[in-house]
Amino acid sequence: MRVLSIDPAIRNTGYAVVEGDHKNVKVITYEVIRIPARIPQSAALAAVRMHLANLIKTHEPDEVAVESIIYVQSHKTAISMGAARAAALIAGADAGLPVYEYAPSKVKKAVVGNGKADKGQVAFMIRALLGLSETPPHDAADALAILSHDASVDVPILDAALASPIGYIGGMGSRGTQTRRRTSLLEAGHTEAALERIHGPIGLDLGSRTPAETSVAIVAEFLANRSGRAPGRLTDAAGPING
């Protein structure tokens, strides 16, 4: 399946095209459509729609995934975001493609483990999850995050990881996402024993509340896994403090 994912905005629309099945996944392209501020809003919307239409014609996706509108306090911002989203929806509808919408908080929860994660955290985790050689621009990373929430992308990545000798496999997302992912991997032929290699929800239970604290909890689990030690307080240990 090939999917065009869109994070709509009038001036900076992120997009990504990913192709995958239950065995393989490939990021075909990702970028940000940048429209200068000097261009009137109506012309900017037309440019976004035209660019997306050209992407659909070039890459021939099977479906379109769009980030749904988020709650904002400014009516002006809400109208602007709604207009950009409409341009994306129309581009997909004009091509006769099914269009699916994903709430930003749910996408962040699935990818980072925190529905309030910032764009930097999303970009970092997308680079790691999809094996990219560079960290994508924030808006393009949001589009890739929408895609990574799709089992057609998520499952192949974990499928490949389970077939490798990699020491740590982390599965981002809520407990509901973990359950659906586990079911898909079992259907793909993996055993219960093999799935025990996947850490998910990822991170140690440190009582994290903010995105920064969640990142610390994730890194802490990486370190504990690498050292082969059970997490504990240095106060209760007698060995070296570091190493």
Residues designated catalytic: 7, 67, 139
- Of the candidates 24, 125, 111, 23, the residue with the CA atom closest to the CA atom of residue 67: 111
Q: Which residues of 147-180 are buried (b: 16+ CB within 10 A; e: fewer)?
A: bbbbbbbbbbbbbebbeeeeeebbbbbeeebbee
CB 145 within 8 A of CB 122: yes
- Of the candidates 138, 120, 133, the residue with the CA atom closest to the CA atom of residue 215: 120
- Of the candidates 134, 130, 133, the residue with the CA atom closest to the CA atom of residue 150: 130
What are residue 63's phi and psi, to 5 degrees? -160, 170
Strand partners, 25: 20
CA-CA distances (angstroms) from residue 200 to 73, 111, 113, 145?
Answer: 34, 11, 9, 17
| Dihedral sign, Cα of residue 210, residue 215, residue 216, residue 220 | positive
CB 59 within 8 A of CB 29: yes
Q: Which residues of 67-98 are buried (b: 16+ CB within 10 A; e: fewer)?
A: beeeeeeeeeeeebbebbbebbbbbbeebebe
